[in-house]
Amino acid sequence: DGFAMVKSSFDPEKDFWDSMVDMIRERKIQHHDEMERLLACYLTLNGDEYHDMIIDVFRRVWLQMI
């Protein structure tokens, strides 16, 4: 339903944050299973070197939602 794009970033942590928040709002994600699918998507589409950052950003976004 969406698409991935290659992006160069000076602040990837902020970009992941903004992207996740946008996806949650646009898709009206509210349930933990939807959030888990979102996380899996980010991990699948991004290289291993970003996984720790993605998980950290995801955790903070999740905590902000509850």
How does pLDDT run across 23-65, given as a tens digit for each residue? 999 999 999 999 999 999 999 999 999 999 999 999 999 999 8
- Are residues 43 and 51 in contact, defined by beta-carbon separation less than 8 angstroms? yes
Q: What's the rounded Cα separation, in Å, for the pair 16 and 20?
A: 6
pTM, rounded to two decimals: 0.88
Residue 1 has pLDDT above 90, yes or no: no
pLDDT score, position 8: 85
- Are residues 54 and 46 in contact, defined by beta-carbon separation less than 8 angstroms? yes
Residue 2 has pLDDT above 80, yes or no: no
Q: Locate the domains of the chain by residue range.
A: 30-65
Q: What's the rounded Cα separation, in Å, for the pair 63 and 34?
A: 15
- Tokens found for residue 10: 């000076």
**Confidence class of residue 22 from pLDDT cuts 50, 70 and 90?**
very high
